[in-house]
Amino acid sequence: MTTLWDTTGSAVVKELAAQRRTGGAVLSGVALTLVVVADEGRVAEAEEAATAAAEQHPCRLLIVVRRQIDAPHPRLDAEVLIGGRLGPGEAVVMRMYGRLALHAESVVLPLLAADAPVVTWWHGPPPGRLATDALAVIADRRITDSSLADDQVAALHTRAEDYAPGDTDLAWTRSTPWRTTLTSALDSVAGRRGEAVRLRGGQVEGDPDNATARLLAGWVGARCGCDVPLVSATRRPGPSGVSAVVLQLDQDEQVRVEADRRGGAAITQPFRPDSTVALPDRQLGDLIGEELRRLDPDEPFADALEAATGVSGLSDRSPVREHVWVDPAQAAPSDGQMAPEVPADSVDSDEVALEGEHDTAERVP
Amino acid sequence: MITNPLRDPRDRRLPRVPEPCALVVFGITGDLARKKLLPAVYDLANRGLLPTNFALLGFARRDWGDEDFAELAREAAHKAARTPWREEVWDRLATSVRFVQGSFDDDNAFDQLAATLDELEGTHGIGGNAAFYLSIPPAMFPVVLKQMQRTGMADSTPERWRRVVVEKPFGHDLESSRQLNALVDSVFTAEDVFRIDHYLGKETVQNLMALRFANTLFEPIWNGHFVDSVQITMAEDVGIGGRAQFYEQTGAARDVLQNHLLQLLALTAMEEPVELSAEEIRTEKLKVLRAVSLPEDLSTFAVRGQYEQGWLAGQRATGYRQEEGVDPHSRTETYAAVRLGVETRRWAGVPFYLRTGKRLPRRVTEIALVFKRAPHLPFADTDTEELGNNQLVVRVQPDEGVTLKFGSKVPGSVMEVRDVSMDFLYGEQFTEASPEAYERLLLDVLLGDATLFPRNAEVEASWTVIDPLEQFWAGTTPQPYRAGEWGPRAADEMLAVEGRRWRRP
């Protein structure tokens, strides 16, 4: 591992190449570049998750931490690792201070793995319009997480307004175990009947303020072509925000899946005894791992997002974004257009950043 | 037809989950069940890939209750599971674990088994579907299958499916495999029979198809115009372990050559299937197996060996004849190598060298395509002395991946070309995360997907290749080789007479 203090993008590129040459065969064959945008407060969490995901998908990991956008001197600190703390592959953690944070892509672009897809993941509040962050524009796939927002429903709405094919949200990823269980429950009904099942409607019980619960209701609604209400659950639901789902089928049948809050779900269906299946809450790393498995646009997500927010025509939008320059120094802080957003910790003073002290590359063994 | 409105072909996050069913394992106390099957069932449950209504039924002679069995199963699963252990997942699985005690000739025990299956329909809603895993010696098959026929357990109806999983060896020659197939097919219908060749469940073997049929780069040179020869190796560093009795009757050719190596050969040499479906892939594999030819001069091109004592990985290894339970004058081979041909337009004239052995220097399985040398080299003779044949190697295990070997200039002021290799390596971690072969195959059985299972006719075609070899070898003594060597001298000579040599894996 090498840490470069107050360095430049080209020094990072050189250092990565040098480590690759001397590091020996750690991992060969890179399928994609994962760019992670995180606040200083969440960077450890993001590192852990990205490392877990990198173990499933050989990738180059670039972690961007934007700090103190108001620091007088732009400055870049970088940590270059191959086969170390951040998994088997190549990883660079970059901390950017001052106006450099607004031009993060200038450091990131030369570090992208050649001709491989780019995935950008914001572990923190993403910009309201992704096009204002150049790191979104260079990405083939963009991962946001609406469940980190204070108002998850509003965040989901923002995502729908801003949606372009290739966008995805971890609130959606969190619904996969529920969707799998519901689908497999209907498979079982179809298997018993030996003919097609029709979905007449349904209801999701859970936390109405939870983005995952909203998307799940939206998904069921999009699949049956009817409105699926999300009603407040009597019990407090788990992290997925859902405590039970009821599906109304034709022939007057009903399937109910209820979380048992112990990593499982109880399924009640006609003509079969109740059963339980695993319905675990997954780690952040598993969620990112699932996202990296497919890099093409996720149409079912677009459908569910449309149904959950009422914004329409999502799949017809252009998958290409044009970068929109927004300078936070000129924008009024309250208009919600501030992007890239200044991390909360930038009010802290950092002497080095303020003084702009320069030193040479320092090697940490 | 989509019968489930929640299924969306565009939605590829949702995994394939089988219909409600039961898995019945005969010989649940055996090695395979404990080391592979039970952990695979737990891993499937942990990954959320088991159906909503599922039951696991064990059948063995031991006098056990459901609890004893659940305890054994827990221990076995805990020990060998690949996914993290979560007690709550096991607890849920444990509620659907049943044990039936009895011997295979005991009518009562099978009536009891049938009754338990019916009962599971009521308590666990398995929908009458069941897969029977015969983890028992083939000699027991007739008894067990007859019992299943008698109790009507084996009958698939439009309302329910019944499948059977058979482990190798699928017979010991063409005749016996025909009998075995006839027997299994008389009880189950042909499409309900799943023959497990666990090599086909490995990620790299499936990747072979992706490599060949998804890329433009390899297929144009994947033929006799460019390929000089193909070497398929499956080497083990271990000896025969505690399987002396089985091994004495089997030998390397029947144990490995007949199934794993010929299947790898079929996947390497087959034409592109019309679509990637079970039936089409099996059709193409069968065409290759039927086109396999044996050399006329078997004495040169078919070699078998037996290991003598030696040193392996810094430890003394005993010879085969000194192993416990082995006849001191045993003529069973622990090494087999053969030169086969594939009589098709694509492969005519290209030798396929297959070899397998025990107590070889390292455990490795790989498929190597050795390409012809360039027809003309514009370099001085001395420049290319170190240049060998280009090679494309699919490493099946360990270090799963692909290697491409080609010539490159040695840096310096003179033109000198030597071989270098370019590696694609799935990280160790990456393969950890992908499902284990048994897990994948078990899931496929429950889903009814037969893509990765050899068909009846393939097994018989493979025996047609092996039988003449065995006949030729009958009564001869295998060539000795030292434990820790790459096989007997004769195997090297087999390639040397045609100006080739084995690749050191």
- Angle ∠(B9,B14,B17) on CA atoms, nearest 5: 105
A197 contacts chain B (CB < 8 A): yes
Cα distance from A328 to chain B (closest Cα, Å)?
Answer: 38
**B92–A277: do the CB atoms touch at under 8 Å?**
yes
| Domains held by chain B: number | 2
DSSP string, B64-119: --HHHHHHHHHHHHHHH-SSPP-HHHHHHHHTTEEEEE--TT-HHHHHHHHHHHHH
CA distance B261 to B357: 12
- B228 plus B278 within the same structural domain: yes
Structure tokens at A247: 């599906």
- Say whether B377 sits in a helix, a strand or coil: coil
H or E element that contains B204:
helix B203-214
- B221 plus B357 within the same structural domain: yes
- A81 plus A97 within the same structural domain: yes
Whether residue A219 lies inside any domain: the answer is yes
- A223 plus A292 within the same structural domain: no
CA distance A209 to B397: 49
pLDDT, position B468: 93
Whether residue B2 lies inside any domain: the answer is no
Whether residue A91 lies inside any domain: the answer is yes
Predicted structure pTM score: 0.84
Q: Look at the alpha carbons of B445, B448, B453, B454 in this order and tell me if their dihedral is positive or negative.
A: positive
Q: How far is CA A293 from CA A117, A300, B50, in A?
A: 12, 15, 21
Residue B22's Cβ-side half-sphere holds a number of Cα atoms within 13 Å equal to 34
**A176–B14: do the CB atoms touch at under 8 Å?**
yes
CA distance A255 to A178: 13
Cβ A156 vs Cβ A305: under 8 Å: yes
- B124 plus B239 within the same structural domain: no
Whether residue B404 lies inside any domain: the answer is yes
CATH of the domain at B402: 3.30.360.10
Domain that holds residue B216: 200-438+454-496
Domain that holds residue A246: 176-278
Cβ B77 vs Cβ B84: under 8 Å: no
**A190–B51: do the CB atoms touch at under 8 Å?**
no
- Give the bridge partners for B482, in sequence order: B308
Give the closest residue to B342 by CA, choosing from B355, B327, B356, B353. Answer: B353
- B216 plus B132 within the same structural domain: no
**B127–A188: do the CB atoms touch at under 8 Å?**
yes
**B124–A177: do the CB atoms touch at under 8 Å?**
no
- B128 plus B224 within the same structural domain: no
- From chain A, the residues in CB contact with B20 under 8 A are 188, 191, 272
Residue in B5, B10, B53 nearest the CB of A272? B53
Whether residue B486 lies inside any domain: the answer is yes
Which residues 6+ apart lie within 8 Å of A114 measured at CB? none
Read off the DSSP letter of residue B6. T
Structure tokens at B251: 């030998």
Q: How far is CA B168 from CA A156, B32, B158, B237, B258, in A?
A: 54, 12, 29, 21, 10
pLDDT, position A147: 92
Cβ A134 vs Cβ A50: under 8 Å: no
- Give the bridge partners for B438, in sequence order: none
**Other beta carbons within 10 Å of A5:** 17
B430 contacts chain A (CB < 8 A): yes
CA distance B376 to A254: 74
Q: Which residue positions in chain A have pLDDT lower than 50?
A: 333-349, 353, 356-365
Q: Which residue of B has its CA nearest to A282?
A: B47
Whether residue B15 lies inside any domain: the answer is no
CA distance B419 to B425: 19
Q: Please tell me whether the interface predicted TM-score (ipTM) of this complex is above 0.90.
A: no
- Say whether B120 sits in a helix, a strand or coil: helix
Cβ B353 vs Cβ B231: under 8 Å: yes
Cβ B92 vs Cβ A276: under 8 Å: yes
Residues in chain B: 505
- B354 plus B272 within the same structural domain: yes
Q: What is the largest CA-CA distance in chain A?
A: 75
Q: What does DSSP say about strands B335-342 and B302-308: parallel, antiparallel, or unpaired?
A: antiparallel
| Domains held by chain A: number | 2
- From chain A, the residues in CB contact with B42 under 8 A are none
Cβ A242 vs Cβ A205: under 8 Å: yes
**A29–B52: do the CB atoms touch at under 8 Å?**
no
- B378 plus B312 within the same structural domain: yes
Give the closest residue to B423 by CA, choosing from A25, A83, A114. Answer: A25
Q: Which residues of A34-50 are buried (b: 16+ CB within 10 A; e: fewer)?
A: bbbbbbbebbeebbebb
Outline where DSSP puts E strands in B334-442.
335-342, 352-357, 364-371, 391-397, 401-409, 417-425
Q: Look at the alpha carbons of B496, B498, B504, B505 in this order and tell me if their dihedral is positive or negative.
A: negative
Q: Which 230-269 residues of chain A touch chain B by CB within 8 A?
A: 262-264, 267
Q: Please give the torsion angle defined by the CA atoms of residues B187, B192, B197 and B202, in that order, rounded to the nearest 10 degrees.
A: -160
pLDDT, position A300: 93
- From chain A, the residues in CB contact with B3 under 8 A are 190, 195-197
CATH of the domain at B96: 3.40.50.720
Which residues 6+ apart lie within 8 Å of A50 measured at CB? A34, A36, A61, A63, A86, A87, A121, A285, A288
CA distance A364 to A361: 10
**Other beta carbons within 10 Å of A193:** 15
Contacts 24+ apart (CB under 8 A), B68-72: B68/B99, B69/B28, B69/B97, B69/B98, B69/B99, B70/B94, B70/B97, B70/B99, B72/B29, B72/B34
Give chain B's count of helices (H) and strands (E).
16, 18
Choose one of A218, A247, A278: the last residue of a domain: A278
- A30 plus A150 within the same structural domain: yes
The shares of helix, strand and coil residues in chain B, as percent rounded to the nearest 5, are 40, 20, 40
Cα distance from B439 to chain A (closest Cα, Å)?
Answer: 17
- B137 plus B214 within the same structural domain: no
Cβ B234 vs Cβ B360: under 8 Å: no
Question: From its phi and psi, is residue A261 left (phi > 0), alpha (psi between -120 and 50) or beta?
Answer: left
- B313 plus B418 within the same structural domain: yes
Q: Which 240-259 residues of chain B touch chain A by CB within 8 A?
A: none
Catalytic (active-site) positions of B: 260
Backbone angles phi, psi at B292, to 5 degrees: -70, 135
Task: Give mean pLDDT in consecutive 10-residue pieces for chain B, a chain of 505 residues.
Answer: 80 86 89 88 88 87 82 88 85 86 88 88 82 87 89 84 88 89 88 88 84 92 96 92 84 90 95 91 94 93 93 89 90 94 95 95 94 89 85 86 89 87 67 73 92 90 93 92 92 94 91
- A107 plus A206 within the same structural domain: no
Tell me how many residue pairs between chain A and chain B have CB atoms under 8 A apart.
Answer: 144
Choose one of A248, A278, A308: the last residue of a domain: A278
Q: State the amino acid at position A251 in one-letter form.
A: Q
Give the closest residue to B253 by CA, choosing from B458, B473, B455. Answer: B473
Structure tokens at B210: 């992706």
CA distance B234 to A135: 47
pLDDT, position B427: 55
pLDDT, position B80: 86
Q: Which residue of B has its CA nearest to A89?
A: B427
**B48–A280: do the CB atoms touch at under 8 Å?**
yes
Cβ B273 vs Cβ B284: under 8 Å: yes
Whether residue B13 lies inside any domain: the answer is no
Whether residue A226 lies inside any domain: the answer is yes
- A153 plus A188 within the same structural domain: no
- Say whether B130 sits in a helix, a strand or coil: strand
CA distance A4 to B260: 52
**A195–B425: do the CB atoms touch at under 8 Å?**
no
Cα distance from B418 to chain A (closest Cα, Å)?
Answer: 20
Whether residue A156 lies inside any domain: the answer is yes
Q: What does DSSP say about strands B401-409 and A199-206: parallel, antiparallel, or unpaired?
A: unpaired
Cα distance from B126 to chain A (closest Cα, Å)?
Answer: 8
A299 contacts chain B (CB < 8 A): yes
- B140 plus B212 within the same structural domain: no
Cβ B130 vs Cβ B162: under 8 Å: yes
- A321 plus A229 within the same structural domain: no
Per residue, what are the HEC states of chain A? Answer: CEEECCCCHHHHHHHHHHHHHHHCCCCCCCCEEEEEEECHHHHHHHHHHHHHHHHHCCEEEEEEEEECCCCCCCEEEEEEEEEECCEEEEEEEEEEEHHHHHHHHHHHHHHCCCCCCEEEEEECCCCCCHHHCHHHHCCCEEEECHHHCCCHHHHHHHHHHHCCECEEEHHHHCCHHHHHHHHHHHHHHHHHHCCCCCEEEEEEEECCCCHHHHHHHHHHHHHHCCCCCEEECCCCCCCCCEEEEEEEECCCCEEEEEECCCCEEEEEECCEEEEEEECCCCCHHHHHHHHHHCCCCCHHHHHHHHHHHCCCCCCCCCCCCCCCCCCCCCCCCCCCCCCCCCCHHHHCCCHHHHHCCCCCCECCC
Choose one of B143, B167, B191: the last residue of a domain: B167
Whether residue A312 lies inside any domain: the answer is yes
Distance, CA of B502 to chain centre: 23
- B285 plus B356 within the same structural domain: yes
